[in-house]
Each structure stands twice: as structure tokens, then as C-alpha cells.
Amino acid sequence: MKTSSYSAPEQSGFKFDNSYAKLASKLYQKQKPEAARNPNLLLLNHALAKTLGLNVQALEKEGAEYLGGNALYATAEPIAQAYAGHQFGGFNMLGDGRAVLLGEHITPDNKRFDIQLKGSGRTAYSRSGDGRAALAPMLREYIISEAMHALGIPTTRSLAVVTTGEMVYRDDAYPGAVLTRVASSHIRIGTFQYASALQDRQLLAELADYTIHRHFPEIAAAENKYARLLEKVIDLQASLIAKWMQVGFIHGVMNTDNMSICGETIDYGPCAFMNNYDPGTVFSSIDSKGRYAFGNQAPIAHWNLYRFAETLLPLINTDEDQSIVTAKELLEAFPARFLAYWLAGMRHKLGLFNQEQGDLELVEDLLMYMQKNNADYTNTFRSLGKELLKTMQIYHDAGFKNWLQAWEARLSRQQENFAQSLTLMDRTNPAIIPRNHLVEDAISAAVDQQTLQPLEQLLSAITAPYSTDAVHSKFTQPPEPSFDIHYKTFCGT
């Protein structure tokens, strides 16, 4: 295995601090990226680079070597992180089997972000894997993570995609690539599960204290900071999943190792967006029983949080029984918290500024009519209150017309006028999501035809999701009905 061979000054503007590498070595392994045969910078996220305070010109010149794994920045201290996870309910000891954390970049405004190379070769946690990634799933993560960011949903982001000039072998041979992922951190529920599985209370406390210091410093002096940590993560997950549900996003593989402690969407494997509303929607090829179906995401997040709470029990209280009582009380608040976040967002999607007792029923009735009429989730919400709604099948449902009258009556009972409600709805209901068929077309063009034009057009559209610009009209159309019947997404490993 050929690893990175040389280092260079921080001409690109990276300023690494690497605080995670100062934790106990049980939590990671020092690991250099594996050099690529012929790295080529395929995509560079200029907007994100500027946000991070990086030198775009230097990245364009040197990104292939440094973000492809052939060279190391002078202050980088690359590591592969250890973690565990419940994968479809079964527990496994895991780790970064195909990723290397270069370090933590400190931006000019003193914010800290992990810079990780995904697909950069074998690590101590690769087991029988080759540590490489295929180009197609790396492009998918780039597209979807940027769409999620534009939709206002907390997420890891993608700085660059570098092709390796090598093939990776799965069910067939595919072009290889390395994705540069940017995250507030890569600390997962699975990271805590790993520390807990080692039965090392000191290690667990060190990880928890580090997490609090890095992400939740406001609770560091709390009477029971570990209980407050659990409460913070519960709240963040409730908010995050509600945001997913409001735009029809399906993560596809909500294993505990794919749940970020800081509440960011992470690990875009078999993810997809729902077209016709159906809470049972599953596109993942590995989710044959629908464990991670669209409508099951909140209950699964709740289940994952129970696993997180189990790791914290030795820290919350020295009396295990009392610790369980405290954790259970906090966990039982999750459904109500999720519902509150979800309903608040759904009110905005309906143009509602205030609250009434019947709002939940109003929302649920709309979703029922959408499912009954195979209505497109995104377009139905976007069309409410507009003439376009009259061209849709759902409009001819007598029950739905009654619902419209109830909705209009509900709008009339608030101080804001109808025009203000429409403005709120247009700010809340995206016109454009990364439609699955367009994502596949863009990836296919890039991988099979070596043209980035469809991908660049798609990126331009999805990074302005609330736009009413007619030039983007093709990005608002759902696929043919038969597409979803056969469509499957894949993990990429």
C-alpha cells in the first residue's frame, strides 16, 4: 500500500488543530491516506471553500494531490476513527474502514470543522474491504448534501470529489473517487457505543467531556452535565428528523453509526427523496423489511437515542437504578418534542402563523388525501393556494375540496392575510428537490459519459430550492409513475 509521500505549506488556507487526536488512542488509529494512481479534481465546491476561508485557486491547483490522498498538508494529523453501531438492529464494532480524518480546520471566524477524505484507502478498521469508494456514490453524497444544506437542514457538506484513476470492484468494476467531507464533527452515537463496549468508564467520560466542550459548552457547568448531554442530543435529533420529514427526505440507513451527536445529517448512502406521498416509501436495496421507511424515521431515531442513553448510564449517576430513571424520563419526551418540531414546520407549510388545537388533524387529513390520490408531496404543498393546484388529480377528490374549504377557513382566523401566508409557504415549501431520476441521470452522465453538464445544471437548481425561476421548471417535474416502482438505491460500500 502506497501512502501519502510528502507534505506542503498550507497554501490552500487549511489550518488544522486536531483536538480529537489528543484523546485516548483507543478511539482512533493514526492512518495516512493511500495514494491514488492518477488523481484528478473533478468537482470543487467554491462556495463552501470560501465559507471555510480557503484559497480556491490553490485548491484548484493542488486539490487533486492533497484531497486525493497523495500528499499531506503540513499540519494534518490523519487518523481513522473507531466507532460501533447497531446496523439494522445488530451490534458490531466498526470504524472508518474507508475514510481518514485529516484534522479539524479552524476558519477565520474561529469555527471548527472536520475535514475527512472518504474513499482514501484501507485503514485498521477496513476488515476485508479495500477502503476505496466508487465515483457514483461520492457524487450522490455531493449532490444530496448540498441540496440538504440549501433546504436549511443541518448536514455534513462536500468540498470536493477527486477521481483516483483506478477501478474499484463491487458487483462490477467502477471508477474510483475520494470525497472530501466537511462536518462539525464525526462523533456518532456509535462512537459512544464503542467506548461503552470497551467497559472503560474513564474513556467514556473523556469522550463525553470532549463532546460537551466541543459542541455544548453551555452545559459544561451543569449539575448533571451528562444528563444534559443526553437531553441536548434528543432535542437535536427530534428537530433534525422533523426537518427531513417536512421535505420528504429518506435517509435509508439510520444505523446508530450514522447518527451524528451534533445533529447533522451524515452518511448519504441509499438516501432518496419521496415523490408520491406514502409513509411506507423505501428505496434502499438493503432495507427489504422497511425498517428505515419514510414514516418510520422518528421511531427509529427514538430507538437509536435509547442506545445512546445506555452508553451514558455510568456517567449520569453512580446509582444505576437512578441513572435509568433519569435517562428514561428524558427519552420519553422525544415523541412530544418531535411532534412539536414537525407540526411547527407543517404549519408553516400551510401558511399558518399561529396555533389552533385542530391543526394536527388538518395536516393529517391533507396527508391522507395525498396518499389516497398518489399526489406528489413536494408539488402539492408548493401548489396550495395557486391555480396550478386545479390541474392536479387530487383537486378532483371531493373530500380534498372539503379539506381546502377547512384550510381556507383556518387561514381566515389569523391576523395575517392570504398574501402573507403564500409568502410564508413559498419560503417553506421547496419548488425543487433533488428528484431521484434527475440525480441518476446526472451521475450516469458524469460516470459513463464523462460529462458534468447535467450534474452542474442539477446543482444550480437544487441550491436554489425555493426559486420560481422558469428556467428551472424541468426540475420540478416528478418522474413517470413506473420509475418509483423499480427504483432502488444502494449503500455504495
- Taking the domains of the chain in order of start, what are their residue ranges? 6-186, 190-252+279-333, 350-493
Give the pLDDT score at 162.
98
In angstroms, the CA 241 to CA 250 distance is 10
Give the pLDDT score at 52.
98
Give the pLDDT score at 493.
59
Q: Are 280 and 294 in contact (CB under 8 A)?
A: yes
Q: For the CA atoms of the chain, what is the radius of gyration? A: 23
Handedness of CA 116, 118, 122, 125 (dihedral sign): positive
Q: Which residues on neighbouring strands pair with residue 188, listed in sequence order?
A: 260
Cα of first residue to Cα of last residue in the chain, in angstroms, is 20
- Active-site positions read 257
* CA atoms within 13 A of residue 99's CA, in its CB half-sphere: 22
pTM summary value? 0.96
Q: Which three cell numbers stand for residue 350?
A: 400551510
Q: Are 244 and 251 in contact (CB under 8 A)?
A: yes
Give the pLDDT score at 2.
67
| pLDDT values of the chain reduced to their tens digit, one per residue, 493 residues | 566 555 555 589 999 999 999 999 999 999 999 999 999 999 999 999 999 999 999 999 999 999 999 999 989 999 999 999 999 989 999 999 999 999 999 999 999 999 999 999 999 999 989 999 999 999 999 999 999 999 999 999 999 999 999 999 988 999 999 999 999 999 999 999 999 999 999 999 999 999 999 999 999 999 999 999 999 999 999 999 999 999 999 999 999 999 999 999 999 989 999 999 999 999 998 888 999 999 999 999 999 999 999 999 999 999 999 999 999 999 999 999 999 999 999 999 999 999 999 999 999 999 999 999 999 999 999 999 999 999 999 999 999 999 999 999 999 999 999 999 999 999 999 999 999 999 999 999 999 999 999 999 999 999 999 987 765 788 999 999 889 888 888 876 5
